Amino acid sequence: MKRKNNYKQFVPYIVLIVIIAVILLVFGLGNNQSHEITYNELLQYLSENKVTEITTSERKSDGVLYITGKLSDYQSNEYFKVNVPNTEVTSETIAKYQQTNEFKWEVEKDPGNSAWISVLVNVVPIVIIVGATVYLFKSMSKGNSSSMDFGKSRAKLSEDGGKVRFKDVAGLEEEKQEVAELIDFLKNPKKFQKMGARIPKGVLLVGPPGTGKTLLAKAVAGEANVPFYFISGSDFVELFVGVGASRVRDMFKQAKHNAPCLIFIDEIDAVGRQRGTGLGGGHDEREQTLNQLLTEMDGFGANEGIIVIAATNRPDVLDPALLRPGRFDRQVTVSLPDQKERLAILGVHAKGKILGPSVNLENLSKRTPGFSGADLENLLNEAALLAVRRNKEAITMMEVDEATDRVLMGPAKTSRKYSDKEKRLVSIHEAGHAVIGLKLENAEDVHKITVIPRGVAGGYTMMMPKEEKMAVRTKQELLDQITGLLGGRCAEELFLNAITTGASDDFSKATKIARNMVTQYGMSDLGPIQLEEKSEGVFLGRDYNKNRDFSDAVALEIDNEVRKIINTSLAETKKILKKNEKLVWAISDALMERETITKEEIEELVETGHIADKEEDTLKKLRDLAKEAGVKGYTKMTKEELEKVLKGESENKED
């Protein structure tokens, strides 16, 4: 498609060349050669029978007979011409020679009496050339930014609001209710005006990436069925100061002509950042653009019937003037979906995909806490791609599990082979995490353990919460989380007498939790005091510095409290692992053999101390059945081959 579009840019040039060539051919502007001769020479050629054709044209206005023609030795592009007084003797002489020589003779009427011929010859070629040139320049500038439309709005207009409706947006029930009255206002504004109510001029959609902010805005436009302008915040910001402000003015000017309508600005933080911040001062172009946006939304001019919807995942960097009532009156938080909403989202994205009977969307929704709508869509898409690669007729749970791991950790690095020593280290490390998770009351459920490397991790233990909770966490839950994070290092130290670098990420997470417990949550002997507060510089990046409301002496106490929490959890971790040493080694041995064990296998391992080889048991049963049925060569057949043969035997017996 891209190559085809490249060809189109040469079309204007080809058209111009063709037009010029036609003009040259029609009006005789080619490379014809003319020879000026005298009347006596013409008579001599006539007497020698060298003339093949003659054309005479008389002009009564000047009394001249114009004669052109060709000689027998001329090329196709050669001709002679001679001008003589227009008398009857000349015409009689030519007629006399024609009777004997029989050359072709044509007589043209007086062209001077035809005004339109003069116009055709003198004016039309100029008009055609000028028109072709204008067309050429318009075609070259079409689709490109020219100096004339440099300040024009880049907002795209959808007349019907698009095809997305609320039924296409799974979950987000409360968010839909928040924006539903915008649709009512656009459809029936008099109902609100009669009560004296003022509809919000702007709605800001805030939430993590991939939660459906843009999709929700499309659904609002689709339900209202009004013109829908959509643009990105970065489309306003240009190199030259004033261009962005000009585009804002033009966008609202266009919107007024199509009111009532919606304007959707995606990633508004690109243009709506706080003014006058940063190490190097402000950004003149962005600040002027923001000032114009503030004025258009709520200034001296009225924008009746225009509702602005914006989306961002960085509301903390937006200018306060943009968030005040009268501009963005309302903030709608689009948060990560819960289990019920994830099930609805999976149902939407599962349409058009062939799912096997083993795939249960409800169970899958329970196994994916923290996934956004975009993550869930990507998960099912990855599962579909894996099923195609494996030449399967339907997506099975095996592809869904692999896709989940891909989304969380990246593709498996199956080509990277561990040595036995390295594999034992990783298996003991992951077994330590798993045992702590299994034995602590407030720990999360262990769903999978693997020593197959993915991304930067040599292995990982997948743990899911027993039940979904809001943001509130208890002190004991945080302590148990720290204890679980320390399980890998403790297992290495206790059972292999080794300390590796594999626990660095665990330590980072544990230290962060412990410090937050001391400085922000008030969960230490220092008391319920918030000692640190994040101060995120708008242009300096997150966590560039923190506000410290304490002295150096208190800083020492904070460090001691953090160390105390870590050491207490470390002691608890060692105590649990020593008490369950057999289980640690059992899990490690299972990982050495299988590389990956699931929740069901872990539960079996905890109860019985080993994992039954279900594949071998199934294969043995199939071979016993094949032996009874008299199948030849059954000892060398695979499980799939045996199932196929036995199925055929059963069908034959029924027949």
List residues with catalytic annotation: 430
DSSP 230: E
CA quadruple 155, 161, 166, 169: dihedral, nearest 10: -40
CB-based contacts of 199: which residues, under 8 Å, 6+ apart? 181, 182, 185, 189, 192, 307
Q: Contact 637/645 with Cβ under 8 angstroms? A: yes
Q: Which residues contact 260 (CB under 8 A, 6 or more apart)?
A: 186, 189, 226, 305, 306, 307
Do strands 306-312 and 202-206 pair parallel, antiparallel, or not at all (unpaired)? parallel
Residue 104 and residue 613: Cα distance in Å, rounded? 107
The two structure tokens encoding residue 416: 């990277």
Task: Tell me: cis bond preceding 260? Omega within 30 of 0 counts.
Answer: yes
3-class SS of residue 355? strand
Separation CA 509–CA 501 (nearest Å): 15
Please give the full DSSP string across 81-142, using - where no structure is assigned.
EEEEE--HHHHHHHHHHHHHH--EEEEE--GGG-HHHHHHHHTHHHHHHHHHHHHHHHHHHT
Matching residue, tokens 């544990």? 510
- Contact between 447 and 434 (Cβ < 8 Å): no
Q: Does an H or E element contain 232, and which? A: strand 228-232
Q: Is the dihedral of CA 135, 139, 142, 144 positive or negative?
A: negative
Q: Please give the Cα distance from 206 to 640 (Å, whole number).
A: 52
Buried b (16+ CB within 10 A) or exposed e, 378-387: bbbebbbebb
Hey, what amino acid is at 19? Answer: I
3-state secondary structure string across 416-483: CCCCHHHHHHHHHHHHHHHHHHHHCCCCCEEEEEECCCECCECCEEEEECCCCCCCCCCHHHHHHHHH
| Number of C-beta neighbours around residue 346 at 10 A | 23
Q: Which one, of 336, 293, 587, lies nearest residue 439 by Cα?
A: 587
Give the pairing of strands 156-158 and 228-232.
antiparallel
